[in-house]
Chain A
Amino acid sequence: MQRSVLPLIAMSFLVLFLAVALFRPSSHHDSALIGKPIPKFAGTLLLKPDQTFTRQELIGHVAVINVWATWCPNCRREHAVLMKYASRFPLYGLNWLDDEVKARQWLQALGNPYNVIISDDDGTIGIDLGVSGAPETFVIDAAGIVREKYVGPLSDEQVENELLPLIRSLTAGASS
């Protein structure tokens, strides 16, 4: 009798495991870069193609890099949120795997929340950052270390409750 209970016990564990797994928060792939310095890159600016932009320009202050593209419907939704909050922190855009002409038209039509937009039409910069979709948003501290990555469109709540406090604490930490 003793051993014949084993299958029942094993099955119960399996069911428990599956039940817990069902209600887990949706899979969140942590960036491989968190805690590491932002990789070296160089790209041209979308709106001023004769100028280049390197990671050096991100050092010295807390920066937020937002990855977006015109083919990405969630980026459109996120755009309004960015327009609303962009004045509160240094926002950089990475135009990823996109058509530059379309991107410029989009900005003209919808407005430009970014300080600077780096053009990455072949996706190489995105690859170095571990970008696998749009929109994604990185938070980088003053020393150039990647601190956080948000996957998916930012909502008002997320900006108020997570992003802005994070930026504040990083800024405070840097200046102390």
Chain B
Amino acid sequence: MVCTAASAREYEPEDPLVRDRYYALTHELRCLVCQNQSLAESEVDLAQELKRQIADMLEQGATNEGVKQYMVDRYGAYVLYDPPFGPRTWLLWLAPALFFVFGLWLLWSVVMRPARTGEHQDNET
């Protein structure tokens, strides 16, 4: 799919605080037309329309969660680049800590072996 736009629209929210949230959100949402780009990075018609809608929603007082839910209702969880912590993703979020703990254990059992610390040897060749 060639990602080009026909004509652009203006949609940045006025209020600076809202604007910051707008930009943060558009970086967290996926552009579904282009492979692996966020809405912020995409210039495709669909992305522009979505950005305009998001800007409108934020200006009318929607919360970040509300905007994300709006997108998920229509496009599914796939549209969120920041996967929410849920039953499908707890392994995703917890894995790093689990890796670390496992690694520490491995390190301890293979290399450190506290029971033999007394035998700590000098071994310059």
Contact = CB atoms under 8 A, between A and B. Distances in A.
A97 B47 CA distance: 12
Nearest to A6: B106
A129 B46 CA distance: 13
Contacts, number: 40
Interface residues of A, number: 17
Given A29-B78, A132-B33, A133-B33, A124 B73 contact: no
Given A3-B110, A124-B53, A130 B75 contact: yes
B75 to A, nearest CB: 5
Interface of B is mostly: helix
B49 to A, nearest CB: 4
B73 to A, nearest CB: 6
Interface residues on B, range: 10 to 19
Interface stretch (A30-38, A43-51, A84-92): A30-38
B75 A32 contact: yes
Contacts of B61: none
Interface of A: 3, 29-33, 97, 122-124, 126-130, 132-133
Given A124-B49, A124-B53, 12 more contacts: A3-B110, A30-B76, A31-B76, A32-B72, A32-B73, A97-B6, A97-B45, A122-B49, A123-B49, A130-B74, A132-B32, A133-B32
13 contacts: A30-B76, A32-B72, A32-B74, A32-B75, A97-B45, A97-B49, A122-B49, A123-B46, A126-B46, A127-B49, A127-B50, A130-B76, A132-B33
